[in-house]
Homo-oligomer: A and B are copies of this chain.
Amino acid sequence: MRIPYAEMKNLFEKILIKYGFPEETASRAARMFTDNSCDGVYSHGLNRFPRVLSYVSKGHIDPHAEPVLEESFGAIERWNGNRGMGCTNAAAAMDRAMDLAARHGIGCVALANTNHWMRGGSYGLQAARAGYMAICWTNTRPNMPPWGARDIRIGNNPLVMAFPVKDAPLVIDGALAQFSYGALESHRLAGKQLPVPGGYDPEGKLTTDPAAIEETWRVLPIGFWKGSGYSLALDMIGAVLSKGNSVHQVGRYEDEIALTQVFIAFDAEKTSGRNYAEETAAAILEDLKSAAPAEPGGSFFYPGEKAAFTRIDNMEKGIPVVEEIWNSLLKELE
């Protein structure tokens, strides 16, 4: 089943308004959830929408909250997300980081007390489409053992980087765990092994078996000790810049709320002049594409490239939906 973009956005918007969101917030959030599904990131589009509504019902997400500036230091500002909608809070923070970058070359917003940003790549795309380069990250609840330990203490703290490329911006959006819990679950349900090792089995051996990893919860940081270190550093930097919660403090809540995020934007045109970024990207990507694929006759993509194809396809043919989830949302308006 496929749903046209406008129809999906319209449904999300109406439901959010029913849940108490002001029209402007409802409209921006609805567009963002629809974009996520449209770009093929279904897990953080339609499929996540019901849980977001449940967080509003539980009082975790305050529909009336707006992010508020707490303190300015020049090129960096600290904002309070006031437990508002995570995706619109994050988009407002990236907007503001770009404003600061337009003035200072680089701009940074540290956002405390916000909610799950859904698809981190959204904020990379947002910056790259406006001609900015960006680095941003969020912390999470504790969901990974630090390297060398057995117990969960660190977050998988997704780290996003983005660069303006004509037609399809380069956006790398990855959790610092090799696989999210959602990815482990979906592989297990599909009866599939992971494509590469994702964690440890009960005997302490690396495995591609999602069920074995779910027994130990010992998921693997990317690059083993390296991702573990980056996760810690990003959490610390975010906690200090925002004066918000670090991962272990987020872990005290019943659900994953009151998160800390950091948004850094670089103004490409201001620092290097018009077209320099696009020309640089074109030269780098031309060199990249001249490599032979790993599998003879195969192909490979830069991060963000496939999403652009999916977007075009889903705009034309409608966005694929899980019928059960779509129908459950239709009932929200009955």
- A150 CB-CB contact with B under 8 Å: yes
Give which listed residue, B225, B241, B266, B290, contacts A76 with CB less than 8 A: B266
* A333: interface (CB < 8 Å): no
Knowing A76-B105, A240-B268, A243-B276, the reply to whether A172 touches B232 (Cβ < 8 A) is yes
Query: What distance in Å separates the Cβ of A151 from its nearest Cβ neighbour in chain B?
Result: 4
Known: A71-B271, A161-B230, A170-B236. 17 other contacts (CB 8 A): A73-B106, A73-B270, A76-B271, A147-B300, A153-B290, A161-B229, A162-B233, A172-B233, A176-B223, A178-B224, A196-B224, A204-B294, A229-B302, A229-B303, A232-B288, A236-B277, A240-B266
| Chain B neighbourhood of A107, CB < 8 A | 75
The complex places the Cα of A298 from the Cα of B151 at a distance, in Å, of: 13
Is A148's beta carbon under 8 Å from chain B?
Answer: yes
From residue A230, how far is it (CB to closest CB) to chain B in Å?
A: 6
Copies in the complex: 2
Which one of A176, A223, A268, A284 has the highest number of Cβ atoms from chain B below 10 Å of its Cβ? Answer: A223
Closest to A134 in B: B237
Give bound CA distance, A76 to B108, whole Å. Answer: 12
**Contact at B248–A153, with CB atoms within 8 Å?**
no
Contact of A44 with B by CB under 8 A: no
Q: Is A280 in contact with B108, judged by CB distance below 8 angstroms?
A: no
Instruction: Answer whether residue A133 sits at the interface, using C-beta atoms and an 8 A cutoff.
Output: yes
A293 (CB) vs chain B CBs: closest residue: B149
Q: Are A288 and B227 in contact (CB under 8 A)?
A: no
| Cβ-defined contact, A148 with B246, below 8 A | no
Interface size class of A (residues with CB under 8 A): 35 or more
Question: Does A294 lie within 8 Å of B104, measured CB to CB?
Answer: no
18 residue pairs from A and B, CB less than 8 Å apart: A73-B104, A74-B104, A74-B106, A133-B240, A135-B135, A145-B294, A146-B288, A148-B299, A149-B288, A149-B292, A170-B229, A172-B230, A172-B233, A196-B206, A222-B227, A236-B280, A240-B268, A240-B271
Give the distance to chain B from A245, nearest Cβ to Cβ, in Å: 10
A166: shortest Cβ distance to chain B, in Å?
Answer: 13
Report the separation of the CA atoms of residues A75 and B163 in the bound assembly, to the nearest whole angstrom. 20
Q: Tell me which residues across on chain B come within 8 A of A272, comparing CB atoms.
A: 240-241, 243
- Cβ proximity bits A95-119 to B, threshold 8 Å, 1 near / 0 not: 0000000011111101000000000
Q: Say which residue of B222, B237, B243, B303 sits within 8 Å of A222 (CB atoms).
A: B222
